[in-house]
């Protein structure tokens, strides 16, 4: 009887175990199949990605004035079934678009604003603006929403058919060049119930990093001085010059630089220097960015700036006020999500660049005197690791790694929930950044191919996060036990601050009528290059000759 019982148990339990094992092996197979389906669907949507990319490029809108971009993207997403909340966080051009239901809630964001005086014809390897002096996409923020929307629509299609639980949340980085929006998004609770965030940013390779990104955080502050006007020749002694206060503050700050830590970066522009020379300026203003590598050091730098303003006001018998225009923490990005994303990047690989793509890249690198003239990336970037260990300076003081000097307010979101930044290869290596030259590739096949590659990596990672709950579980464990174990996020803005939505209004009012003449019309032209009548690539004769000479020498 005992033997019969053993045989019966074996006959009943073993099939159950085998079935359970088969379910375990089928799940990854299904996930991989869906990933390949997503890749194929994104290839089918490449024209849609190109149109979104080129449309945003043609708008050329500065921070807080992204009106055409706002209308175009929100209309598109509403047609695709997304619920769109407009004007969030007291910003007319900000929005959140959601689709789906339940957990996980995954935020997918990218910046949309452009750079002052960076207008440039795409595909032209030398300075040739469409509108002289106008803004342009001299960083490439026109491309990220194209990537995100195509990836999200692809995953949405799969979620509908497979009945997958989850919510996709698309959003724009408004006024990123002013670091003017994301801290307000966080403060006002728009990321409160979000499980993870994928952010995309243009680069020159396909890559992702985790840990301390090595960049700086900052606080952006405008100091306004008020004095008393007077006739500058007839009665200057009756005047109290606000401009003198601005200049004295700047002189004091520049003398102080020698005694600031090596990790700091600070810059200013005089945004108001008075009206005309024969009137003692009663009002003047200076706009500072105070950058450092940690919250306490940013705060200390800012406090030093306030003291400088107080001193300048005392010396000139003027009054001063200050306004915080924006802020950003130094970034810290999530390891489990980055590792999952990098595995997908290896499957996607870099785009296949044409000879024309490489010609444009090399000619542009030569024109801008890039450190290396090697064309577009041919080898996939490695997984980015945390910034280096602290270094010890003379005097025995320990400093955290100086890292890079750039700042991005995606960092405020990264300190609020697990976040990664997906970089994709739509720009040319070795260019100056925040410059007209960085717009050269941004409405060309280089940008289009980079966006498609990035969309594939993002869609595959979204499917991972939707179908493998352990990824988000591990992401929060890393966020709680490593990232925020000793460092807690403290906003650099207070509850009384509001977004400076008036910034760039006058500039856009000046240039928009001319820029409108060049808005992209995809109903008539397949690409923006075709609409503009630009031969791809466009090089001067001397650039062509130099590249030909180089090619011949390598052939020998």
Report the half-sphere exposure of 538 (CA within 13 A, side-chain side).
17
Residue 14: pLDDT over 50: no
Q: Find out whether 173 and 421 touch, Cβ atoms under 8 Å.
A: no
| Confidence (pLDDT) at 387 | 76
Residue 425: pLDDT over 90: yes
| Confidence (pLDDT) at 221 | 98
DSSP letter for each residue of 363-404: HHHHHTT-S----S--SPPPPBPPPPPPEE-TTS-EE-----
CA distance 449 to 452: 5
The whole-number average pLDDT for the span 476-501 is 96
Residue with tokens 């990093």: 209
| Confidence (pLDDT) at 389 | 54
Q: Find out whether 147 and 200 touch, Cβ atoms under 8 Å.
A: yes
CA distance 451 to 431: 19
Q: How do residues 140-180 score in pLDDT, each as one tens digit?
A: 999 999 999 999 999 999 999 999 999 999 999 999 999 99
Strands (E), 230-275: 265-272
Q: How far is CA 472 from the centre of its chain?
A: 23
Torsion sign (Cα): 60, 65, 66, 67: negative
* Token digits of residue 519: 């808005």
Report which secondary-structure segment, H or E, holds 426: none
Indicate the CATH number for domain 217-328: 3.30.70.360
Q: pTM score, two decimals? A: 0.92
Q: Give the bridge partners for 265, in sequence order.
A: 291
Question: What residues does each domain of the chain span?
Answer: 30-214+336-387+409-487, 217-328
Q: Give the bridge partners for 422, in sequence order.
A: 200
Please state, as a whole number, how many other Cβ atoms lie within 10 Å of the Cβ of residue 278: 9
Q: How far is CA 538 from the centre of its chain?
A: 28
pLDDT: is 394 or 521 the higher one?
Answer: 521
Residue 7: pLDDT over 80: no
Residue 259: pLDDT over 70: yes
Residue 18: pLDDT over 90: no
Cβ-proximal residues to 173 (8 Å cutoff; 6+ apart), any chain: 109, 110, 111, 112, 113, 141, 144, 181, 182, 199, 409, 410
Residue 401: pLDDT over 90: no
Q: Give the bridge partners for 166, in sequence order.
A: 101
| Confidence (pLDDT) at 550 | 87
Residue 97 phi/psi, 5° resolution?
A: -120, 125
Q: Find out whether 109 and 185 touch, Cβ atoms under 8 Å.
A: no
CA distance 168 to 151: 11
Cis peptide before 537 (omega within 30 of 0): yes
Maximum pairwise Cα distance, the chain: 121
Cis peptide before 104 (omega within 30 of 0): yes
Please state, as a whole number, how many other Cβ atoms lie within 10 Å of the Cβ of residue 494: 8
Residue 79: pLDDT over 90: yes
Range 30-214+336-387+409-487: architecture per CATH: 3-Layer(aba) Sandwich (3.40)
Which 8-state DSSP code applies to residue 320? E
CA distance 364 to 359: 8
Report the half-sphere exposure of 474 (CA within 13 A, side-chain side).
13
Q: How do residues 335-349 score in pLDDT, each as one tens digit?
A: 999 999 999 999 999
Q: How do residues 431-483 score in pLDDT, each as one tens digit?
A: 999 999 999 999 999 999 999 999 999 999 999 999 999 999 999 999 999 99
Q: Across the beta sheet with 217-226, what order do the strands follow?
A: 265-272, 283-292, 217-226, 319-328
Residue 24 phi/psi, 5° resolution?
A: -65, -40
Residue 14 phi/psi, 5° resolution?
A: -60, -45
Residue with tokens 């390779």: 205
| Confidence (pLDDT) at 551 | 85
The whole-number average pLDDT for the span 404-425 is 94
Residue 507: pLDDT over 50: yes
CA distance 275 to 421: 44
Q: How do residues 172-221 score in pLDDT, each as one tens digit?
A: 999 999 999 999 999 999 999 999 999 999 999 999 999 998 999 999 99
């Amino acid at each position: 009887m005992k033997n019969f019982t053993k045989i019966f148990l074996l006959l009943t339990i073993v099939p159950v175990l085998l079935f359970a094992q088969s379910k375990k092996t089928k799940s990854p197979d299904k996930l991989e199949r869906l990933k390949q389906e997503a890749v194929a669907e994104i290839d089918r949507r490449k024209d849609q990605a190109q149109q979104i990319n080129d449309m945003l490029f043609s708008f050329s809108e500065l921070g807080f004035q992204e009106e055409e971009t706002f209308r175009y993207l929100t209309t598109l997403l509403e047609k695709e079934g997304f619920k769109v909340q407009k004007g969030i966080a007291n910003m007319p051009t900000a929005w959140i678009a959601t689709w789906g239901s339940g957990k996980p809630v995954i935020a997918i964001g990218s910046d949309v604003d452009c750079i002052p005086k960076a207008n440039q014809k795409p595909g032209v390897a030398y300075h040739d603006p469409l509108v002289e002096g106008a803004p342009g996409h001299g960083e490439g923020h026109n491309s990220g929403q194209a990537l995100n929307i195509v990836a999200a629509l692809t995953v949405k299609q799969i979620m509908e058919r497979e009945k997958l639980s989850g919510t996709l949340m698309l959003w724009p980085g408004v006024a990123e060049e002013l670091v003017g929006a994301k801290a307000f998004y966080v403060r006002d609770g728009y990321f409160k119930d979000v499980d993870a965030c994928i952010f995309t940013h243009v680069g020159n390779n396909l890559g992702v990093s985790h840990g301390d990104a090595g960049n700086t955080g900052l606080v952006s502050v405008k100091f306004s001085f008020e004095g008393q006007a007077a006739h500058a020749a007839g009665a200057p002694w009756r005047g109290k010059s606000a401009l003198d206060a601005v200049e004295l503050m700047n002189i004091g700050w520049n003398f102080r630089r020698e005694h600031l830590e090596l990790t700091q970066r600070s810059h200013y522009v005089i945004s108001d220097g008075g009206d005309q020379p024969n009137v003692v300026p009663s009002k003047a203003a200076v706009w500072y960015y105070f950058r450092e590598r940690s919250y306490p050091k940013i705060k200390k730098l800012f406090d030093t700036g306030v003291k400088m303003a107080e001193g300048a006001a005392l010396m000139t018998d003027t009054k001063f006020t200050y306004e915080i225009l924006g802020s950003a923490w130094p970034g810290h990005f999530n390891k489990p999500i980055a590792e999952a994303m990098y595995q997908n990047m290896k499957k996607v690989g870099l785009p296949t660049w044409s000879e024309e793509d490489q010609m444009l890249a090399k000619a542009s690198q030569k024109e801008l005197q890039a450190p290396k003239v090697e064309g577009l990336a041919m080898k996939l970037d490695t997984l980015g690791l945390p910034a280096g260990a602290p270094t010890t300076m003379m005097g025995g003081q320990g400093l955290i790694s100086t890292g890079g000097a750039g700042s991005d307010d995606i960092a405020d979101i990264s300190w609020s929930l697990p976040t990664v930044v997906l970089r994709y290869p739509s720009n040319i290596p070795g260019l100056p950044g925040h410059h007209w030259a960085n717009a050269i590739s941004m409405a060309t096949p280089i940008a289009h191919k980079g966006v498609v590659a990035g969309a594939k990596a993002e869609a595959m990672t979204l499917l991972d996060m939707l179908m493998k709950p352990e990824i988000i579980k591990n992401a929060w464990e890393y966020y709680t036990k490593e990232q925020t174990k000793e460092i807690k996020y403290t906003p650099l803005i207070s509850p009384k601050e509001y977004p400076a939505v008036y910034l760039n209004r006058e500039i856009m009012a000046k240039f928009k009528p001319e820029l409108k003449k060049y808005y992209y019309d995809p109903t008539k032209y397949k690409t923006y290059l075709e609409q503009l009548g630009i031969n791809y690539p466009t090089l001067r004769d001397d650039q062509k000759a130099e590249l030909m000479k180089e090619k011949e020498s390598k052939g020998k």
